[in-house]
Structure 1
């Protein structure tokens, strides 16, 4: 079941309300299960977007909004991280400047210190928040795949890097516990079902933390190489890992490449992840083409010739992670002429994303 959630985008800020995720979870479960009479649910396994920062206290949020993976407000803090750590920043797996959770955490400390002072911990993915809520607030954990995207993991050891956190004056006790994707966190209790408005069929189901969307889609694809398009998207392949923090392939040093721990031990995922992929189509449908549906966008695009008469779209509408890393990058339509209409703008949007992956 699909339950869309809004995202706030003031400037370089990209946020969602974690409680909206819970409402979406309840709505999707009811859509799939109804009230669950006669349905036997064995387990609940979570997955979701990674590289978020969610500040939590005792069974509650201390900040209403989560900083999402594509949030780029922490540019100044990223510079401070790099100044403080010097060459050791290279020891942080997949540190990606302002997009990294380490820089966002420092932004909270500098810009919203009261909220951070109320926090008992941080969660680093949407699915980790769902697992925490489904556990009744007992499970503050993070899977290896998600941790490897945050800029908080030591690439040499595969563990979090308290030395980096402490160097910035932050408290490493706020870090979640690392957990395997298949770790059982307990059972979904009757009180949690009632509090979250979930179907009764979930009561007593085994609760498994799961892993971030990159890991889950890799497992689900059942293939060595695949492409994924959601709001963001990536090209990825799985390969043997030769070190605790990921693989030792030379490509890991390339700009815009993520070397991420696979949910399965001894394997890593090499991923080229664009910040905005399918999200470009949603943006164009809503803001360029007058609020058409995505199906109508596809129909418009089919009316335009390949190449769109020279019209080009740069898909970096929320900064970029791959094929280059630049949180300040912005999108554009190029070579616009009076001969270009809605079909060309629709197709150019899709071609721009495709060409981004080709590069």
Structure 2
């Protein structure tokens, strides 16, 4: 059982798992949203070890333990954190979700199942019925900026970092940052990857490093998006819905718009808990209404800057390819 399923089972006496978390076990037939019996048999596992798979907004029991005032309340299955967060941000199939937290998560909702073009892209059931999602996760999005603050800025506030980075022109005067401070999951799948500042000379100072870190994380998300969409002409998002702590930075959200060459909608980020509560609301109301999100800001890509970033991003990709040869030799 996943932790939430153990807790729910303890409170309700009902054994179950939702399709989003079941997707992460590699034992689920994700297309059909149930256990892959043939695969489980090949692994010499007993399928009775596994709980029934239920939908995230399905009522699976009622409270039989805990405070008396809560006894008898209906309880829904719930969802994994990223799927619940997508519900809480009101993400629609035509939108690309991007969460800039400690990690960076790209989230694309699908109305029918299909295999992704690359093994670094997860294909999971979504928390809403009859929907799926593709997802990539990078290890050090906001973590890279926190490292920059703690090590180079001696704990200054993030607004100060933004102010200095904004003084530097796009491309950081030739400095590039690879945000691989904890290895990397997507799209390079390289646990030996390490962070890199490339192109430093004696004229570069702290502001160039600050902007390079913000740009480097944006390039890594562009790299994930290019990998996720592959050669598909059908993956043309109307906009990026940006959440997470990094979305509070006006400079960084504009960088994302320019590097991805897509409009960015910055929304209030209610978190996964609100998404889970909204799933419970939908279960009780019997519908699948979208969460009423609140818009904080809208960013349009600057065509001139976006064109400059195309050239720098191509250089970023070349450096990553060359560095991968070194990381692989460790």
Equivalence map 1:288-307=2 (5 Å): 288-307=152-171
Aligned partner of 1:316 in structure 2 is: 180
User: Aligned partners of 1:129 and 1:297: how far apart in 2?
Assistant: 42
User: Aligned partners of 1:273 and 1:318: how far apart in 2?
Assistant: 12
Aligned partner of 1:284 in structure 2 is: 148
**2:20, 2:79 within 8 Å by CA — same for their partners in 1?**
yes
Say whether residues 1:232 and 2:103 are aligned partners: yes
Equivalence map 1:90-169=2 (5 Å): 122-123=1-2, 127-128=4-5, 131=8, 135-136=10-11, 138-139=13-14, 141-155=16-30, 157-161=32-36
Q: CA deviation at 1:355?
A: 0.5
Say whether residues 1:209 and 2:77 are aligned partners: yes
Q: TM-score, with normalisation over the residues of structure 2?
A: 0.55
- 5+ residue gaps, structure 1, are 1-121, 195-199, 242-246
Aligned partner of 2:124 in structure 1 is: 260
User: Aligned partners of 1:138 and 1:290: how far apart in 2?
Assistant: 51
Say whether residues 1:192 and 2:62 are aligned partners: no
User: Aligned partners of 2:102 and 2:42: how far apart in 1?
Assistant: 34
User: Aligned partners of 1:240 and 1:228: how far apart in 2?
Assistant: 19
**Does the C-alpha gap of structure 1 residues 167 and 283 become closer, same or farther in structure 2, counting only changes over 3 Å?**
farther
**1:323, 1:357 within 8 Å by CA — same for their partners in 2?**
no
User: Aligned partners of 1:317 and 1:148: how far apart in 2?
Assistant: 28
Aligned partner of 2:314 in structure 1 is: none
User: Aligned partners of 1:204 and 1:292: how far apart in 2?
Assistant: 50
Equivalence map 1:23-62=2 (5 Å): none
3-state SS of 2:35 partner:
coil
3-state SS of 1:323 partner:
coil
Does 1 or 2 have the higher relative contact order (CA < 8 Å, sep 6+)? 2
User: Aligned partners of 1:288 and 1:327: how far apart in 2?
Assistant: 25
**Does the C-alpha gap of structure 1 residues 348 and 180 become closer, same or farther in structure 2, counting only changes over 3 Å?**
same
**Does the C-alpha gap of structure 1 residues 297 and 316 become closer, same or farther in structure 2, counting only changes over 3 Å?**
same
Aligned partner of 1:350 in structure 2 is: 214
**2:86, 2:97 within 8 Å by CA — same for their partners in 1?**
no
Give the total of aligned pairs: 220
**2:102, 2:142 within 8 Å by CA — same for their partners in 1?**
yes
Say whether residues 1:272 and 2:136 are aligned partners: yes
For the aligned residue pairs, the C-alpha RMSD in angstroms reads 3.3
User: Aligned partners of 1:328 and 1:303: how far apart in 2?
Assistant: 33
Which whole-Å deviations, capped at 9, do the CAs of 1:263-314 have from their partners, x for residues lacking one? 2333221233323322322233234432233344333322333222222111
**Does the C-alpha gap of structure 1 residues 339 and 158 become closer, same or farther in structure 2, counting only changes over 3 Å?**
same
